[in-house]
Structure 1
Amino acid sequence: MIANGHVVGDGSWDLRVFVTDLQTERLIRVKGDVHIGGVMLRLVEDLEISMDWSDHALWWPEQNVWLTRTRSTLDQCGVHADALLHFTPMHKILRVQLPDLRYLEMRVDFSIKTFSSVTQVCKDLRIRHPEELSFCKPLDHNHLKYNYKDMPKKKQEHNGVHKNGHICANDTNTFIANSSPGGSTGSLDNSPFMCAPVTPSRAPASSTPINSPAGNGTWKRNGYGNDLNGSLNYSGNITSSLSLDELNGTLDSTLAQSPPTPSPEAKRHLVRPKSLVEKARMNVGWLDSSLSIMEQGVREHDTLCLRFKFFVFYDLNPKYDAIRINQIYEQAKWQLLNEEIDCTEEEMLMFAALQLQVKLEASRPQPMLENNGSTPSPIDDDIDAALNNLQTTLEGSSISTNSNDITQVPELKDQLRFLKPKRFTLKAYKKYWFTCRDLHLYMYKSREEMVHGHNPVFNINLKGCEVTPDVNITQNKYVIKLEVPSPEGMSEMYIRCDDEAQYARWMGCCRLAAKGRSLADSSYESEKQTILDLLNLQKPSEQPVVNPNTLDIQVEDFIAPKYLKRSRAKLTQRILEAHANVKDLGLIDAKMNYIKAWQLLPDFGVSLFVIKFMNLKKEELLGVGYNRVMKMDINTGDHQKTWRFNTMKAWNVNWENQHMMVQFEDENIVFSCLSADCKVVHEFIGGYIFLSTRSKDASQTLNEELFHKLTGGWS
C-alpha cells in the first residue's frame, strides 16, 4: 500500500530533525539501516539551500549525545521514530575567561572531547602544552557552602520556545546526565550541581550562526570542521571585536600583558574560600575531559573558565612562552590575592613587590622577544640550546662530589637544633649533629659519634616525607618541618638552622630526598640557589628606590585581605621597601620569579577534596599533588598520611556507588568524594601520571589516546 508517496509497512518512518540555523523542522523518511551521514545528506537535499553545511552534525537532545559517527546506522545509535534530532553547527561561540580574568569570545568545537577543545583553544591563543589546562564552570559563593551531593536542586525551567512550537534546551547551567558511549561512564551524572549563571557579553542577534565555516566543504567522516577563522572577541577591559587573522600581528602582545585590573564583572564573580573545606569545594567545577562540552550542559554563549589544572609546567621558556608565562603568573597572582593558597606576611610582601615591578615594567616599552612560539628559532639559538641541553644531560648523569673519586657518596654534615613536639609538653630545641647520606637523615648526640658512625639517636628515611618551610627572616627563624610516615600516621619533627646558608643546604637536601633524589643529583645546587634567591627577595630594603608620591598603589590589589589590617600607608611603605630587591628585573624575569616563588609555597599544586573513607563516617581531606596523594586534617591541613604515585599500582572508580579505589604496594584505599564527582579526583591522578610521561624530545606530539586511557575511568 502506498500513502503520501511512501510504501506503508516497509519499516520506514518519519524522523524529525530540527535545523537550528533556520529554526525549522523537517521530516526525513528513513529506515533503521540508514547511516547518520545519509540522514544529513537527505536533509541537506531537502532543504535546497545553497550554503556550506560541513560544520554541522546531528545532536540528540533527549539522550544528550552527538551523532558524529557518520557511518553508524540509526539502529546502531538507538534512534527510533519518537526521536527529535537537531542539525546544528559543531563550532559555536563560547565565552572563555582566561586566567587573567579577561573574557574572550571564541569559536569552539562543541562536539569533540573537552580535552581536544582545550587543545584547539590553546593553539588559537598560542599557549604551548595545553595538556596542563582545562575548562571549568564558573562558581558562585553558594558553591562553597555545600558539598557536591548536597547542592540545592534548581528547577529545570525552559529558556523559551522555538517559533515552530518546539521547546528550547533546558537550563544549560546544570551538569546534564551523560549517555555518550564515547565518554567516561557516570561522570557528573544526575548531578544537582549548577554553574553560576553568567550574563553573556552580548546576546545573539538572531538564531542564525554568527560564524559559519568558509569554503565549499564536503561531508567529512566525523564532521569536524577544521576552519577556525571565527571571531575572537574581547570583553572586559578590551572591547574590540577582531578575528584571529586580524589579531595575528598583535595576539602575542595583547595576551602576554594583562590589564592592571580586571573588569567589574570579573571581580564580581570572584569567590574567596574561607576554610580548607571551601578550598576543596572549588574543584567541583572541572569539566570531564572525556566528554564534549555540549554533553556537559554548556550551550552557545555560555561562559567557561580556562585554567591551569595540573601544576607541572613543562619547558617554560621565555622565548616561546610569553603568553603562557603571563597567564600562569596571573593565575598565581589571583590564587594568592584570593587566599586560595596561603603564604606568610613576608612572602606576601615579596609577591606584592614582584607584582609592582611587573606593573612598572609593563608600562615601559619592551624589547621584542624573538620567537614567541610562532616561528622557528634561528640556527645559532638552536645550537646554543642543543649545547646547553647536552651539558645538562652530562652533568645530570655524573655524581657531584668534592672528591675525584666518583664512587664516593656525597654527604651533608652539620650541627643543627632539633625538636620533636609532644602533646601537653613545652620542649625547647636541642643541639644535635646531623648527617644526610643516601636519602637517610641520621642524628647523633656528639660530633665524635657522628664521625665514628656510632649508633645514631635515630635515622629517618627521607623518601616519602613531607618537607615544609617555616621561615621568618626578621626573627632569624629558619626551620624545616618534617612529617615522617609511621604506622600511626605522619610524625612531626622540626629542624632549626642557624642562618639562611645552612637552611638552604639542608632544605634543598630534604626536598630532593623526599622525591627520592640524593645529594649526587645535579639539581641539588640549583635547588639550593633557588631557596637562597627566594630568601634574598624577602629581605626588606632600608630605602625604597621609588618615590611613593609618584605611584598610586591600591594595596588591596597587591595584598591578600588577611594582611590588610595594617594602615594603608604602612603597607605601601613595606611594599616599596621590598620592591628595592627586585627593581632591576625585567618584565619576563619578574613574572618568572613570581612563578618560582609561588611554586616553593608549601600548599602549591595541591588540589583538595572532601572525602569519606570506606566504612568510616568522618569527613576527611584529600590532597592530590603532582607526585602523591595525601590524607590531611580537615581543620588544620596537617598531613596524616602520604601515598606516593611511584608506589601506586592501579586506580579506578566504581561508578555504581561512586567509590574510588587506589591500589598501592602496601595497601589499598577506598573512598567516596563529597566535594566533587569521583571522576574529578580520578582525572587529577591520571593527569599527573600522564604529565610524568613527557620527555625532552622536542618533536613529541600530544598523546591524547594515552591521556584518556589514564583519566577516562572504567566501570
Structure 2
Amino acid sequence: MIHVGDNSWNLRILITDLQVEKTLRVKGDLHIGGVMLKLSKTEANPKDWSDHALWWPAKNIWLTRTRSTLDQVGLHADALLHFTPMHKILRVQIPDLRYIDCRVDFSVKTFKAVVSLCKDLGIRYPEELSLCKPLSPEHLKKNYADQPKKKMLVEQNGNYQNNQYIHPAPDTNTFIATHSNSFHGSDNSLDDRPFSCAPVAQRPTPPPHNPQGGSTPISSPTGTLRHHTNGFNHTSFNDSSSSLGDFIENLAYSPRAPSPEAISKLVRPKTLVERARMNVGWLDSSLSIMEQGIREFDTLCLRFKYYSFFDLNPKYDQVRINQLYEQAKWQLLNEELDCTEEEMLMFGALQLQINIQNDQPQPDSGIDTSSLDNGGDDDIDAALSELQITLEGPKNGAKNGDITHIPELTDYLRFFKPKKFTLKAYKRYWFTYKDLHLYLYKSREESRSSAPPSVSINLRGCEVTPEVNLAQSKFHIKLEVPPEFGNGPNSEVWIRCDNEEQYAKWMAACRLAAKGRSLADSSYESEVSSIRSFLSMQKPALAPAVNINPNNIDPSEYLASRFVKKLKGKAANRMLEAHANVKDLSLIDAKLNYIKAWQSLPEYGVSLFVIKFDGHKKACLLGIANNRIMQMDIATGDHIKTWRYNTMKAWNVNWEVKHMMIQFEGENTVFSCLSCDCKVVHEFIGGYIFMSMRSKENNQTLNEEMFHKLTGGWN
C-alpha cells in the first residue's frame, strides 16, 4: 500500500517480551502515548501493558513523556524502538556481600530507584545510599581519564550490531549557587555533552536467568517472600507471597562468611590513589539505570555513599545497622581505612562477639545512639548550637549560674611544631583552651599575668588527627591549622598528653572546636565519654573471657591481612584478650559499638579523588567529607588545605573541558578530576549539603526535588 503526500512513515518497534517486531504507520504529530496505544491494539491476545514504555536504543533514552510528539523527540523513519517493561530484574549486591535479584524500575532516575529498593529492603533514609558498578582490579591501576572507553553496542532485534553505537543521555547539570541556608539553581546553561560515571564495558548477550543460582530473587515489590533456607549464603523465596517480612528479618542478620564468588570479586586498594579510584563506579543519581549502560540481569552494588547517618535507632533500623556494620567491616578487612594494631584487634573482638551473639536470643537494646548521628556534626547545626548558647547560656561549665562565664580547659601539656631538619622535641607549656582558641604559656603563673601567650592557635576549621598507642602510653594529637588569612597551606602542630584522661578531654575539645563548638556545647561530655569508651575497648585483658580454642579461629576472617602477617601465630590469642572488653555486649550493642569505633578512625568518612588543580602539573588528592573539602598530599594523605562548607558560595562544572570550579569566601579553586568523572565529585558535594539540611525536629518526607537540584541540576 502506497501513501502519497500524507506525511506519514513507518516506525519499527520491537516488543521485547514477545521478540516480535511491529511496523506502525505514523505521523510526526502523533504523541508517544498514541504510539503505545496503537501498538497495544495490534496484538490479538489481550495483555496488561501498563508496565511497558518505549526505549530508543540508538539514543539510549526512555520516551516516557507520553504527551511529546514524535517530531518533538526527533524520531524519524530510520529509528527502531523497543517496547519493553520498565521494571526489570537487577542483581544487587548488598553491603554484606550477598546477592539478591530485585525487580527495579529501569526507567526512573537512579535516586528514585534506590529509594524504592531501600523501602523493599526495610532500610530507612535511602538518600544515604546509592548504586555503583562492580569494580575490577584493572580499575585501580589507571585513572578514569586513562581507562579505555568502550562504546555500548546498539541492540537490534535482541542482537548487538557492530557498526552502531548508543550515546549516553545528555547531562542535566546547571550552575548551583548557595547563599546562607537557601539553595537556588541558576539559569546558566551548560554544555549537554554526554558523560559516563564509570567505564562502560561492551554489552554481552544477556545470559538466561537462573533463579536457583547464587542470588536471592525478589520477584515483586509487593510480593511476600516466604523463606526457605537453601544453604548458608543463599535463600530462595516463593514468588506468590504478599509481604517482605521474612526477607527483611533475614537482612538484619548476615552469614559469617560471604559466598566464594563475592570474595573473589573483592578489590583491595594498596595505596591512597587506588582508594581514590574506587569512587569511579558510582551511578549518576539524575539518570535512569538503563541510560547508564545497565541491562536486565546485570549486577550493581548497593552501598552507603554519604557518611552522614541520620537517626540510627535499634528499634527501627536493625537491617540498616546490620548492613552499615557489614560495610564498615569489609572496609577494614580490605584495608580501605588505616588503623592501629590495637584498633584492629578491637574490631576483630567486636566481630567475634557479634558472631557469638548471632546464635543467641537478643533482648531489646536501650543504647544511646546520639553520638552515631553524623548529621549533627555539620556547620549548620554548629551555627544553630552557637545561637542557642547565646540565647540560653551555656549548659556546661557555668559558674554559679553566670551565663557570661566562658568555660575553659587548662593543664600542662607538651607542644611541638615540626620544622625542616629538626628532631621531634616536645616542649612543656601551660595550655589554656578558651573560646575556640589555644593559648600556650611558659607557666601557669605567666597565664595569670597580662603577658601575651607564647603561642596562639585558632582551632576553628582545623584538622584533628589522633595518634595513640596504648601499649607505649602514647597519646598525641595532630592539628593541621588553616592559615590566619585564608591563603596558603595548613600548618602542622602536635600536642602530647601525659595520660588517657587528659587525652580524652583535650581531644574532645579540639574536635568540637574544629566544628566551631565550644566547651559550653552540650555534646562535649558525651564526646569525652565516647573517647574514653573507644580507648577502654582497646586495652588487652590478662586472659581471654571465653573458652575458645585459638586454633579454631581463623584470624584472616577478623583482621586485615597485614596484621595477620605481622602478628603471625599470636593473632588469635591477642584478639581473644581484646574480646574480654566486649564480652558482655548484646548483638545490637556490639554492632553499634563497631560502627561508633569505625567513625572514630581518623580517615573515616573521607571519600578520595585524584585531581589536578588548574595551572598545576602534579596531581593531588581531594577528600570530601560531610562538612568539609580537603586538599591532601597524594603520597602521605597529609592535609594541605581545608575548606568548610559554610565558607562555600557556589560550585559549578564546565562540561566542555570537564573542569570543576568551587567558589569560597575570598577564593576560587578550579580543578579537573582524573580518577572519575567530575559529575561524581559534584554529586558528593551536593549530596552532603542535602544531608546537612535534614532536621531532627521535623519528621519530614524525603525532598527528591531538592536532592536533584543540589546534585544534578535542572533541565
Query: Cα offset for 1:303?
Result: 0.2
CA shift digits 1:510-547 (9 cap, x unpaired):
00000011111100000110000000000000011112
1:23 corresponds in structure 2 to: 19
2:237 corresponds in structure 1 to: 241
> Is 2:257 aligned against 1:251?
no
Query: Cα offset for 1:611?
Result: 0.5
Q: Mapping of 1:445-456 within 5 angstroms?
A: 445-456=442-453
> Is 2:643 aligned against 1:650?
no
Query: Cα offset for 1:485?
Result: 1.1
Query: Cα offset for 1:268?
Result: 0.6
Partner of residue 151 from structure 1, selected from 147, 150, 164: 147
What CA distance in whole angstroms lies between the structure 2 residues aligned with 1:44 and 1:213? 25
- Contact 1:106/1:232 (8 A) holds in 2: no
Q: Mapping of 1:195-344 within 5 angstroms?
A: 203=209, 228-229=222-223, 237-243=233-239, 245=241, 248-344=244-340
What CA distance in whole angstroms lies between the structure 2 residues aligned with 1:494 and 1:657? 41
* SS of residue paired to 1:617: coil
1:549 corresponds in structure 2 to: 549
What CA distance in whole angstroms lies between the structure 2 residues aligned with 1:232 and 1:510? 52
What CA distance in whole angstroms lies between the structure 2 residues aligned with 1:460 and 1:301? 57
Query: Cα offset for 1:177?
Result: 2.0
Partner of residue 167 from structure 1, selected from 159, 171, 182: 159
1:376 corresponds in structure 2 to: none
Cα separation, partners in 2 of 1:592 and 1:200, compared to 1, 3 Å: farther
Cα separation, partners in 2 of 1:545 and 1:202, compared to 1, 3 Å: farther
1:681 corresponds in structure 2 to: 681
Unaligned runs of at least 5 residues, structure 2: 175-189, 367-387
What CA distance in whole angstroms lies between the structure 2 residues aligned with 1:59 and 1:180? 18
What CA distance in whole angstroms lies between the structure 1 residues aligned with 2:73 and 2:222? 29
Matched AA of 2:332: L
1:88 corresponds in structure 2 to: 84
* SS of residue paired to 1:366: coil
Partner of residue 406 from structure 1, selected from 403, 406, 421: 403
> Is 2:640 aligned against 1:640?
yes
Query: Cα offset for 1:154?
Result: 4.2
2:670 corresponds in structure 1 to: 670
What CA distance in whole angstroms lies between the structure 2 residues aligned with 1:230 and 1:628? 43
What CA distance in whole angstroms lies between the structure 2 residues aligned with 1:447 and 1:212? 68
What CA distance in whole angstroms lies between the structure 2 residues aligned with 1:670 and 1:599? 30
CA shift digits 1:162-185 (9 cap, x unpaired):
4xxx6348899x996223769997
- Contact 1:555/1:568 (8 A) holds in 2: no
* SS of residue paired to 2:159: coil
2:529 corresponds in structure 1 to: 529
> Is 2:555 aligned against 1:564?
no
CA shift digits 1:565-615 (9 cap, x unpaired):
245541100000000000000000000000000001110010000011111
Query: Cα offset for 1:202?
Result: 6.1
What CA distance in whole angstroms lies between the structure 2 residues aligned with 1:419 and 1:634? 24
Cα separation, partners in 2 of 1:169 and 1:243, compared to 1, 3 Å: farther
1:517 corresponds in structure 2 to: 517
What CA distance in whole angstroms lies between the structure 1 residues aligned with 2:166 and 2:636? 32
- Contact 1:198/1:303 (8 A) holds in 2: no
1:603 corresponds in structure 2 to: 603
- Contact 1:175/1:297 (8 A) holds in 2: no
1:385 corresponds in structure 2 to: none
- Contact 1:63/1:179 (8 A) holds in 2: no
**Range with greater deviation from structure 2 (697-706 or 109-118):** 697-706
* SS of residue paired to 1:250: helix
Query: Cα offset for 1:242?
Result: 3.8
2:381 corresponds in structure 1 to: none
> Is 2:8 aligned against 1:12?
yes
Unaligned runs of at least 5 residues, structure 1: 215-226, 371-392
2:504 corresponds in structure 1 to: 504
> Is 2:363 aligned against 1:357?
no
1:466 corresponds in structure 2 to: 463
CA shift digits 1:182-232 (9 cap, x unpaired):
999768726881469999996269xxxx99999xxxxxxxxxxxx644979
Q: Report 1 or 2 for greater relative contact order, CA contacts < 8 Å, sequence distance ≥ 6.
A: 2
2:436 corresponds in structure 1 to: 439
Cα separation, partners in 2 of 1:190 and 1:542, compared to 1, 3 Å: closer
CA shift digits 1:289-326 (9 cap, x unpaired):
00000000000000000000000000000110000000
* SS of residue paired to 1:598: helix
- Contact 1:90/1:110 (8 A) holds in 2: yes
> Is 2:491 aligned against 1:491?
yes
- Contact 1:176/1:297 (8 A) holds in 2: no
Query: Cα offset for 1:651?
Result: 0.3
- Contact 2:151/2:166 (8 A) holds in 1: no
CA shift digits 1:255-301 (9 cap, x unpaired):
00100001000001000000000000000000000000000000000
> Is 2:177 aligned against 1:179?
no
2:199 corresponds in structure 1 to: 193
1:379 corresponds in structure 2 to: none
Matched AA of 2:545: V
1:74 corresponds in structure 2 to: 70
Query: Cα offset for 1:25?
Result: 0.7
- Contact 1:55/1:212 (8 A) holds in 2: no
Partner of residue 429 from structure 1, selected from 426, 433, 444: 426
Cα separation, partners in 2 of 1:397 and 1:549, compared to 1, 3 Å: farther
Cα separation, partners in 2 of 1:53 and 1:397, compared to 1, 3 Å: farther
* SS of residue paired to 1:565: helix
**Range with greater deviation from structure 2 (678-687 or 404-413):** 404-413
Query: Cα offset for 1:155?
Result: 7.2
2:704 corresponds in structure 1 to: 704
2:373 corresponds in structure 1 to: none
What CA distance in whole angstroms lies between the structure 2 residues aligned with 1:436 and 1:571? 41
- Contact 1:652/1:662 (8 A) holds in 2: yes
Kindly report the root-mean-square deviation, in angstroms, between the aligned alpha carbons of the 2 structures: 3.0
Q: Report the TM-score when normalising by structure 2.
A: 0.88
Matched AA of 1:554: D
2:417 corresponds in structure 1 to: 420
Q: Mapping of 1:116-135 within 5 angstroms?
A: 116-135=112-131
* SS of residue paired to 2:269: coil
**Range with greater deviation from structure 2 (196-205 or 395-404):** 196-205
What CA distance in whole angstroms lies between the structure 2 residues aligned with 1:237 and 1:186? 44
Partner of residue 56 from structure 2, selected from 57, 60, 68: 60
- Contact 1:466/1:482 (8 A) holds in 2: yes
- Contact 1:188/1:677 (8 A) holds in 2: no
- Contact 1:107/1:231 (8 A) holds in 2: no
- Contact 2:218/2:225 (8 A) holds in 1: no
- Contact 1:176/1:296 (8 A) holds in 2: no
* SS of residue paired to 2:549: helix
CA shift digits 1:13-46 (9 cap, x unpaired):
1111110001011111111111111100000001
What CA distance in whole angstroms lies between the structure 2 residues aligned with 1:278 and 1:171? 35
CA shift digits 1:381-437 (9 cap, x unpaired):
xxxxxxxxxxxx999955112412111111111110111111111141111011111
Query: Cα offset for 1:70?
Result: 0.8
Matched AA of 1:465: C
CA shift digits 1:434-487 (9 cap, x unpaired):
111111111111111212342001211101100000000110011110001124
* SS of residue paired to 2:135: coil
- Contact 2:58/2:167 (8 A) holds in 1: no
1:383 corresponds in structure 2 to: none
Number of aligned residue pairs: 668
Partner of residue 346 from structure 1, selected from 342, 361, 370: 342
Query: Cα offset for 1:562?
Result: 1.2
What CA distance in whole angstroms lies between the structure 2 residues aligned with 1:466 and 1:169? 54
* SS of residue paired to 2:516: coil
1:481 corresponds in structure 2 to: 478
- Contact 1:94/1:302 (8 A) holds in 2: yes
What CA distance in whole angstroms lies between the structure 2 residues aligned with 1:588 and 1:632? 36
Q: Give the % identical residues.
A: 61
